[in-house]
């Protein structure tokens, strides 16, 4: 759906013209999976799929919000007088959480908005549609109410909404990647210190292809919490020997000692993934700085193997997609991205081979899984912007 169609839709829903249009990207994590909550380095980038917001100010304190993705929900209405969580308000709770914490931080949001929201991030794909919506709302409020809110403050506020208001125990990566997105750059982010660095990502002759399993991630939340507690248990044992706050403060040289301290084989595998994945992120950023896409691709492959064997969060659909991708000509590397158990994988593919790649991988996936995957050729885009 293009912008002019969304603006027309706004008029038909709200019976008036819109004042401004906004966009916030989704994100894909290139490498560094399931280590943001283990104090590790992650390496995401903003993508050109994301969430649009078409808005107009109101003179009262009411918000009327309409999603072009969930038209059956019609207009959802709430006011600044009551920003408490309400399950009947569905996706609008993300908007309410942003408003609540902006006001608590002393920002002056004094009137309501009419808002039409549309996202072209596949629902349940793991490309971070909720963080995209949170950062979009931060950008809308910053511009519509002339607030002083930095990109880092927006990212931290979005995380607070996710953790405290919605109740999802996620790390900082998604909001940072989206709020600080920069075209043709990936973001090296230290989740321990929140220090970050923009790393140029020159995909000369290659594209990132996002491969959606089209399996909703039913298991992801429960398994996420399970993995997190396994890591915390391993960390508690290691802290009796090592002066560390997080697993990723250790490195590959410590693995023998880790295996002797963490006797539970499952907990050791989880800790091993966290430690080795962090090492891979460091190697991957160096590979890009040296313009070595071949090495970068090999590190993606190794990441998937670790997520499959040590962290056990892939599942048959992701393994089928990535396995099929590895067999194709012109593929530098492929791996799952996001929480796992469905959702998406990424592949770095020679531009001259993308059509064959999509056709062949889809055929193999259909044969093995019984339904088709979806494919998106992604560009690395900027963070949230006001379009007009």
Closest CA to 284 of 4, 18, 43: 43
Cross-strand partners of 196:
189
- What crossing angle do the helices spanning 293-309 and 316-326 adopt, rounded to 10°? 150
Positions marked active-site: 174
Q: How wide is the angle at C-alpha 39 spanned by C-alphas 35 and 41, nearest 5°? A: 65
What is the Cα–Cα distance from 323 to 339, expressed in whole angstroms? 18
**How far is it, in rounded angstroms, from Cα 63 to Cα 113?**
5
> Whats the size of the chain, residue-wise?
388
User: Which helix or strand (DSSP H or E) is residue 178 part of?
Assistant: helix 173-179
253, 257, 246: which is closest to 279 by C-alpha?
253
Cα separation, 177 vs 382, in Å, equals 10
287 near 296, Cβ under 8 Å?
yes
Which residues contact residue 169 at a Cβ distance below 8 angstroms, ignoring those fewer than 6 apart? 37, 163, 224, 225, 228
- CA angle in degrees (0–180, nearest 5) for 117-118-121: 135
Closest C-alpha to 114, from 43, 19, 39, 193: 19
Determine contact, residues 67/95, Cβ cutoff 8 Å: no
């Amino acid at each position: 759906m293009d912008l002019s169609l969304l603006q027309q839709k706004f008029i038909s829903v709200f019976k008036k013209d819109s004042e401004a249009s906004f966009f916030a990207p989704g994100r894909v994590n290139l490498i560094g999976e399931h280590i943001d909550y283990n104090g590790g380095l992650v390496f995401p980038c903003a993508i050109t799929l994301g969430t649009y917001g078409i808005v107009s100010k109101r003179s009262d304190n009411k918000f009327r919000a309409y999603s072009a993705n969930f038209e059956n929900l019609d207009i959802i209405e709430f006011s600044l007088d009551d920003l408490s969580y309400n399950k009947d308000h569905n996706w609008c709770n993300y908007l309410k959480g942003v408003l609540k914490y902006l006001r608590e931080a002393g920002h002056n949001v004094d009137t309501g908005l009419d808002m039409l929201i549309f996202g072209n991030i596949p629902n349940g794909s793991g490309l971070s549609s909720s963080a995209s919506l949170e950062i979009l709302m931060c950008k809308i409020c910053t511009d519509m109410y002339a607030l002083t809110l930095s990109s880092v403050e927006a990212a931290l506020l979005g995380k607070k909404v996710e953790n405290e208001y919605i109740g999802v125990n996620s790390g900082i990566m998604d909001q940072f990647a989206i709020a600080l997105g920069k075209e043709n750059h990936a973001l090296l982010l230290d989740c321990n210190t929140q220090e970050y660095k923009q790393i140029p990502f020159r995909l000369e002759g290659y594209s990132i292809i996002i491969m959606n399993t089209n399996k909703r991630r039913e298991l992801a939340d429960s398994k996420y919490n399970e993995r997190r507690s396994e890591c915390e248990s391993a960390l508690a044992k290691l802290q009796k020997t090592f002066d560390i706050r997080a697993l990723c403060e250790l490195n590959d040289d410590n693995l023998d000692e880790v295996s002797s301290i963490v006797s539970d084989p499952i907990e050791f595998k989880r800790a091993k993934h966290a430690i080795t994945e962090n090492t891979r992120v460091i190697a991957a950023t160096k590979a890009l700085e040296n313009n070595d896409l071949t090495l970068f691709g090999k590190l993606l492959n190794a990441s998937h193997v670790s997520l499959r064997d040590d962290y056990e969060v892939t599942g048959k659909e992701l393994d089928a997609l990535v396995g099929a991708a590895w067999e194709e000509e012109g593929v530098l590397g492929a791996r799952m991205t996001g929480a796992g158990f469905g959702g998406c994988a990424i592949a770095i593919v020679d531009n001259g081979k993308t059509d064959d790649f999509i056709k062949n991988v889809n055929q193999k996936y259909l044969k093995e899984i019984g339904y088709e995957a979806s494919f998106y050729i992604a560009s690395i885009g900027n963070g949230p912007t006001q379009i007009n």
